C-alpha cells in the first residue's frame, strides 16, 4: 500500500450567492503520496483552488462543506482537517505542516510591509528564531529563489518589485517554515522559463532533502510534464481522469484531457489556428443532470445526457470517468492530430 | 524591411530611485523597431524590464533617457497636446491582470466606451452603442453583455473585454503585456486566435510581451530578448529559434518546458549567470539585416 500523506475523500462544497447555490466541488478524491508531486490540471473555474483552500481551511465565508474528509497523516496519526476549526488549523497545521502558495501573489503580500518583514513573520511564529538568524535565513531564501541583491530587496515594498519577483517572494515565504506539504497554486505563471525552471528545481531539491510532498496546480502542461509524478484532471468540480504523468501524456482516455492536450502549442506548432475546446464550462448554479462535459464533447453518447459516468479503471494507476470506457460503448479513438503528436513526443524521448 | 517603422525605440533608459543609495536601473539603453502590421515578441527574465519598457513607451512612465518615435512623432520628452491625443488613441495597452485592470463599478459599455468618450469619436449615443456592440461581437462576446459588470465574467471573458477596450480605438499599436499568462490553455488559444484575426482585419501591430516561448514563437514575426534591462538579441522568429547567438537566448530556449514527461524529467538547463556589470560598454553586432546581438 502506498503511504499517502494527504487524502481528500468525497469532498463536496457549495457556495451561497445571491443568484443561488453554486455546487463548485462535486465529490473530489485526491491522494498525495508522501514525498511525491501531484499536479491538478483543469480549465479556469473547475475547482482547483477551492479544493486546496479547503485543505488549508481558507474557504470563503459563503462556502458550505456538504461532506467529505481531508485526511492528513503525521507521526502515525490520522487527522481529518475538516473537523478542525480555522483557529486550530492556523495554529497547528498551516505553515508548520502545510504551506500554500496562492495564485495571486498580491493576496498573500501586505502592501504596507517590506517583504523582509513578511518573510520573517512566519519564522518568528513557527520556529522561534532570533532576529539575526531570521534575517540571515530570509536573505538566503531570496537568493535561493533567484532574487539578486537580496539584502537590499528585503527592504522593498511589494509594489517596487516586478510581477515575477513578487511571486518568488511568496514562494520563499512558504518554504521559510519548512513544511511537510507544499501546495502551489499556479506559482510560476508570471515567471520566465529560466527562473521557472530554477524554482521548480529548487522545489525538487527541497523535496528530495526533506521529503516534502507537493500539490501543484497549473494549466501549463509543460510544467506538469516536468514536475509531476501523478496528475488529476479536473472539470466542473469533479476529477475526470487520474494517472501517472506518463498515463496522462502518452495514453489519455478522457475526451476533455484530449482537448486540453490538443490546445497547447509546442515549439512545432505551425497551424494557422490553435485548437480550443468548443463552448464553455457549465454554470454550476444549474448542475447538468448527466456528464457535465457532454455539451462540449464531440464524442458524447446518449447516456451522457442522463447519467454522470463512474470511474473506469484502465490500469492500477490509471482511471477515467467517461462512458466511452464502458465495455458496451462504441470504440472511439482520440483525434488523429493528437495521436500523431503523442507518437512524435514518444519518438523524441526515445520511448516506443 | 523597406517599410518605415511604426515605432522606433532608441537607447531607452528607465531608472527608479528607491532610496538615496539604491537606484533600480530597469532599462539600460534598449533599441528596437516595430513595423506596421507585425508582431514583435518581447521575452526575457522576470524583472528584466519588459513591463517597464511597455509602460515607458505608452508614457505611463517618463523615460529617464532615450527617444521613442511613433507614427513619425517623437513621443518621449515633453508632449504637445495633439501628440498626446494621438498617442492616447493610436497606441493601446492590454494588461496582464484582467481583474485589477477593469473598474469593478463600471458597466462593460462604459469601460469600453471610455476612450470613445474622451476623444469624442461618435456623434450620437446611438452611434456609441453601435460601436460598442460591434466591438463586443468582434471579440466573441454579445452586445447583451454591455450592461453587465466585470465580476460577472470569467477570466477569459474579462481578457476579451480588455482587448475590446483597446481595439475600439482602432489603434495602430497594441502593447499586450502577458495578456494570456493568467488564462488556461484552451482560453489562451481562443485569445491568441482572436488577436491574429484582428490583426489580419485591421493591420494593427503588436508588442507581445510574454514568457511562454511556445506561444511567442507561434504568434511573433520578430523577437527581442531582454536580460537585466539590456536587449541582448533580436531577430526574426526563425533566427532566434534556429540560430540563437547570445548565451542568454540559448539558456532561455533550453528551459522551455515541453509536454513530454520522459524528456522533461532528464532535461538539463544551460546555466547563465551574467549580471548588469557584464553588459556595460558592450557593442551591438548586426549579423544580418534582421538579426543582431549584444557582443
Ligand atoms: N466565494 C465564492 N462564491 C461563489 N462562488 C465561488 C466562490 N469561490 C469560488 N467560487 C466558484 O467556484 C468555482 C471554482 O473556483 P476555483 O477558484 O476553484 O477555480 P479554479 O479551478 O482554481 O480556476 P482558475 O484556473 O481560474 O484559478 C468557480 O465557478 C468559482 O466561480
Ligand atoms: N514603480 C517601480 N518602482 C520601483 N522599481 C520598479 C518599479 N517598476 C518596476 N521596477 C523595477 O524595475 C525592474 C524591472 O521590472 P519590470 O516590471 O519591468 O520587469 P518585467 O520584465 O516585466 O518582469 P516580470 O516578467 O516579472 O513581469 C525590477 O527590478 C523592478 O523591481
Ligand atoms: Mg485557481
Ligand atoms: Mg512584467
Instruction: State residue B276's pLDDT score.
Output: 83
In a domain, B131, yes or no: yes
In a domain, A289, yes or no: yes
pLDDT level of residue A1 (50, 70, 90 thresholds): low
Name the domain count of chain B.
1
In a domain, B89, yes or no: yes
Residue whose cell numbers read 537580496: A150
In a domain, B177, yes or no: yes
Give the tens place of pLDDT for each residue, B76-132. 988 899 999 999 999 999 987 766 778 889 999 999 999 999 999 999 999 999 999
In a domain, B221, yes or no: yes
Taking only residues 201 to 260 of chain B, the set having a beta carbon closer than 8 angstroms to any beta carbon of chain A reads: 211-215, 217-218, 241, 251-252, 255-260
Q: Mean pLDDT over residues A347-351, rounded?
A: 79
Instruction: State residue B181's pLDDT score.
Output: 78
- Kind of pairing, strands B284-286 and B230-236? unpaired
Q: What gap in Å lies between CA A281 and CA A28, rounded to an integer?
A: 17
Residue B36: strand, helix, or coil? coil
* B74 Cα to chain A: minimum distance (Å): 28
Q: For residue A280, which residues of chain B lie inside 8 Å, CB to CB?
A: 154
Instruction: State residue B295's pLDDT score.
Output: 84
Residue nearest to atom 3 of ligand 2 (CA): A160
Comparing CA positions, the residue from A234, A191, A198, A197 lying closest to residue A215 is A234
Taking only residues 217 to 256 of chain A, the set having a beta carbon closer than 8 angstroms to any beta carbon of chain B reads: 219-226, 228, 245-246, 249-250
Distance, CA A256 to ligand 1 centroid (Å)?
19
The helix (H) or strand (E) run that includes residue A256 is: helix A255-263
Residue whose cell numbers read 526574426: B236
In a domain, B193, yes or no: yes
Cα-based angle B158, B159, B160 (whole degrees, multiple of 5): 90
Give the tens place of pLDDT for each residue, A215-246. 999 888 889 999 999 999 999 999 999 999 99
pLDDT at A193 over 90: no
Comparing CA positions, the residue from B176, B189, B182, B139 lying closest to residue A44 is B182
pLDDT at A352 over 80: no
Residue A52: strand, helix, or coil? helix
Q: For residue A265, which residues of chain B lie inside 8 Å, CB to CB?
A: 189, 214-215, 217-218
Name the domain count of chain A.
1
In a domain, B40, yes or no: yes
Domain of B74 in residue numbering reads as: 7-282
Specify which residues B74 forms β-bridges with: B69
Subunit contact B259:A264, Cβ cutoff 8 A = yes
In a domain, A286, yes or no: yes
Q: For residue A351, which residues of chain B lie inside 8 Å, CB to CB?
A: 262
Residue nearest to atom 14 of ligand 1 (CA): A47
In a domain, A151, yes or no: no
Give the tens place of pLDDT for each residue, B249-295. 999 998 888 889 998 888 877 888 888 888 988 899 999 999 999 98
Q: What gap in Å lies between CA B154 and CA B102, rounded to an integer?
A: 13
Least CB–CB distance from A164: residue in B18, B46, B213:
B46
CATH code assigned at B33: 3.40.50.300
Give the tens place of pLDDT for each residue, B149-160. 888 777 778 888
Subunit contact A44:B185, Cβ cutoff 8 A = no
Comparing CA positions, the residue from B175, B208, B256 lying closest to residue A265 is B256
pLDDT level of residue A213 (50, 70, 90 thresholds): very high
The helix (H) or strand (E) run that includes residue B152 is: none
Give the tens place of pLDDT for each residue, A52-63. 999 999 898 999
In a domain, A22, yes or no: no
Give the tens place of pLDDT for each residue, B214-240. 889 999 999 999 999 999 999 999 999
pLDDT at B1 over 70: no
Q: For residue A42, which residues of chain B lie inside 8 Å, CB to CB?
A: 184
In a domain, A117, yes or no: no
pTM of the model: 0.86
Instruction: State residue A283's pLDDT score.
Output: 82
Least CB–CB distance from B260: residue in A196, A263, A348:
A348
In a domain, A21, yes or no: no
In a domain, B293, yes or no: no
Domain of A327 in residue numbering reads as: 252-349
Suggest the residue from A190, A192, A260 to mutate for an interface test with chain B (most B CBs closer than 10 A). A192
In a domain, A264, yes or no: yes
Instruction: State residue B98's pLDDT score.
Output: 66
SS3 sequence, A140-168?
A: HHHHHCCCCCHHHHCCCCHHHCCHHHHHH
Specify which residues B15 forms β-bridges with: B25
ipTM (interface predicted TM): 0.79
Contact B232, B293 (CB under 8 A): yes
Give the tens place of pLDDT for each residue, B26-80. 999 999 999 999 999 999 988 899 999 999 999 999 999 999 999 999 999 888 9
In a domain, B289, yes or no: no
pLDDT at A107 over 80: no
In a domain, A67, yes or no: no
Amino acid at each position: 500500500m502506498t503511504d499517502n500523506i494527504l487524502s481528500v475523500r468525497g469532498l463536496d462544497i457549495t457556495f451561497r450567492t445571491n443568484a443561488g447555490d453554486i455546487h463548485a466541488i462535486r465529490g473530489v478524491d485526491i491522494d498525495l503520496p508522501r514525498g511525491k508531486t501531484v499536479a491538478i490540471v483543469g480549465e479556469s473555474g473547475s475547482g482547483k483552488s477551492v479544493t486546496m483552500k479547503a485543505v488549508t481551511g481558507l474557504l470563503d465565508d459563503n462556502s458550505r462543506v456538504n461532506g467529505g474528509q481531508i485526511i492528513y497523516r503525521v507521526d502515525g496519526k490520522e487527522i481529518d482537517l475538516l473537523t478542525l476549526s480555522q483557529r486550530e488549523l492556523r495554529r497547528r497545521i498551516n505553515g508548520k505542516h502545510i504551506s500554500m502558495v496562492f495564485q495571486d501573489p498580491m493576496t498573500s503580500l501586505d502592501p504596507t510591509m517590506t517583504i523582509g518583514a513578511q518573510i520573517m513573520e512566519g519564522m518568528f511564529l513557527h520556529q522561534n528564531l532570533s532576529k539575526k538568524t531570521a534575517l540571515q535565513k530570509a536573505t538566503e531564501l531570496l537568493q535561493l529563489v533567484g532574487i539578486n541583491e537580496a539584502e537590499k530587496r528585503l527592504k522593498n515594498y511589494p509594489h517596487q518589485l516586478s510581477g515575477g519577483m513578487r511571486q518568488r517572494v511568496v514562494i520563499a515565504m512558504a518554504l521559510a517554515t519548512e513544511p511537510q506539504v507544499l501546495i502551489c497554486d499556479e506559482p510560476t505563471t508570471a515567471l520566465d522559463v529560466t527562473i521557472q525552471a530554477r524554482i521548480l528545481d529548487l522545489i525538487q531539491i527541497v523535496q528530495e532533502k526533506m521529503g516534502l510532498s507537493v500539490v501543484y496546480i497549473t494549466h501549463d502542461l509543460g510544467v506538469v510534464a516536468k514536475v509531476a509524478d501523478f496528475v488529476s484532471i479536473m472539470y466542473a468540480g469533479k476529477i475526470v481522469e487520474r494517472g501517472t504523468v506518463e498515463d496522462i501524456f502518452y495514453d489519455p482516455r478522457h475526451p476533455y484531457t484530449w482537448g486540453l492536450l490538443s490546445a497547447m502549442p509546442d515549439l512545432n506548432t505551425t497551424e494557422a489556428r490553435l485548437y480550443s475546446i468548443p463552448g464553455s464550462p457549465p454554470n454550476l448554479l444549474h448542475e447538468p443532470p448527466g456528464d457535465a462535459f457532454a455539451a462540449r464533447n464531440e464524442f458524447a453518447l446518449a447516456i451522457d445526457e442522463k447519467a454522470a459516468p463512474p470511474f473506469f479503471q484502465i490500469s492500477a494507476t490509471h482511471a477515467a470517468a467517461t462512458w466511452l470506457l464502458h465495455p458496451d460503448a462504441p470504440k472511439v479513438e482520440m483525434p488523429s492530430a493528437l495521436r500523431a503528436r503523442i507518437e512524435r513526443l514518444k519518438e523524441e524521448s526515445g520511448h516506443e | 524591411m523597406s517599410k518605415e517603422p511604426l515605432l522606433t525605440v532608441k537607447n531607452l533608459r528607465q531608472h527608479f530611485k528607491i532610496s538615496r543609495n539604491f537606484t533600480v536601473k530597469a532599462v539600460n539603453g534598449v533599441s528596437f523597431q516595430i513595423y506596421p502590421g507585425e508582431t514583435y515578441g518581447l521575452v526575457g527574465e522576470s524583472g528584466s524590464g519588459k513591463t517597464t519598457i511597455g509602460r515607458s513607451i505608452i508614457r505611463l512612465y517618463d523615460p529617464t533617457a532615450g527617444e521613442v518615435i511613433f507614427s513619425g512623432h517623437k513621443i518621449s520628452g515633453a508632449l504637445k497636446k495633439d501628440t498626446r491625443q494621438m498617442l492616447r488613441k493610436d497606441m493601446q495597452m492590454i494588461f496582464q491582470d484582467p481583474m485589477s485592470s477593469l473598474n469593478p463599478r463600471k458597466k462593460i459599455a462604459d469601460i469600453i466606451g471610455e476612450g470613445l468618450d474622451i476623444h469624442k469619436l461618435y456623434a450620437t449615443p446611438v452611434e456609441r452603442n453601435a460601436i460598442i456592440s460591434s466591438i463586443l461581437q468582434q471579440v466573441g462576446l454579445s452586445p447583451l453583455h454591455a450592461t453587465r459588470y466585470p465580476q460577472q465574467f470569467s477570466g477569459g471573458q474579462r481578457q476579451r473585454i480588455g482587448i475590446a477596450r483597446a481595439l475600439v480605438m482602432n489603434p495602430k499599436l497594441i502593447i499586450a503585456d502577458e495578456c494570456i499568462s493568467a488564462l488556461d490553455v484552451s482560453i489562451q488559444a481562443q485569445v491568441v486566435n482572436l488577436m491574429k484575426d484582428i490583426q489580419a482585419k485591421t493591420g494593427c501591430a503588436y508588442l507581445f510581451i510574454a514568457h511562454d516561448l511556445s506561444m511567442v514563437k507561434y504568434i511573433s514575426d520578430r523577437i527581442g530578448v531582454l536580460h537585466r534591462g539590456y536587449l541582448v538579441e533580436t531577430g526574426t522568429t526563425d533566427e532566434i529559434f534556429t540560430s540563437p547567438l547570445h548565451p542568454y537566448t540559448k539558456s532561455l530556449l533550453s528551459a522551455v518546458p515541453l509536454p513530454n514527461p520522459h524528456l522533461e524529467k532528464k532535461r538539463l538547463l544551460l546555466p547563465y549567470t551574467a549580471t548588469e556589470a557584464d553588459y556595460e560598454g558592450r557593442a551591438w553586432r548586426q549579423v544580418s539585416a534582421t538579426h543582431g546581438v549584444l557582443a
